[in-house]
A = this chain, B = another copy of it.
Amino acid sequence: MSTHRTPATSRLRRRRGVNFGWSLGMVLRRWHEHVEEALAGLPQGSRGYHVLAVVVYEDVPNQNALASRLVIDRSVLTYLIDDLEAAGLVERRLDPNDRRVRRLVATERGRKVLAVAEEQVALAEEQVLRGLPAAQRAALRDAVEQAADAIIASAPMTDPCLAVDGVFEQPVTD
């Protein structure tokens, strides 16, 4: 199985930065492989983990706020919370002031499970980045988180500002 020791890697010389996106996808994929396995047993894996973490550490007034905080759709959040609630990790509490909204609170068990999950994720992430020297590892984490912060801070997701399609329709006259 491990007979091919990827002699390819050395000749994968990057032409400019054209494969930044591919590399991003690769790292994220590996992250998922390790983290979903590390979080087996936690409802919804890494997605339940993200939800639980926000509920524990941040003070979101309602589900809509939580959804936009995580940049996911309200409808998927419903399923995530359903499972977390069924597992006894979070609760939906009706807001007496506005009976439409449900305030989310973590249970004691939820906090404990999150603490365990954080350890597991930290270990998994070390595995993902184990090919990098420690300094590079920290730099990567910082850079990625900073980039995500900047993205969230800067703009709505899906902005049609730079509509530049049609470039390939007749760029080369064959």
Contact = CB atoms under 8 A, between A and B. Distances in A.
Interface of A: 1-2, 4, 6, 8-9, 11-12, 14-35, 37-42, 46, 50, 53, 57-58, 68-71, 88, 109, 112-113, 116-118, 120-122, 124-125, 127-132, 136, 139-141, 143-154, 156-160, 162-169, 171-172, 174
Contacts of A128: 147, 151
A131 B157 contact: no
Is chain A's interface secondary structure helix, strand, loop, or mixed overall? helix
B152 A24 contact: no
Contact of A70 (B2, B17, B22, B168): B22
Nearest to A68: B4
Contacts of A1: 156
Contacts of A37: 160, 162-165
B19 A166 contact: no
Nearest to A145: B23
B39 A69 contact: no
B2 A148 contact: no
10 contacts: A6-B152, A9-B153, A15-B118, A20-B31, A20-B125, A26-B152, A29-B157, A41-B167, A112-B172, A113-B172
B26 A71 contact: yes
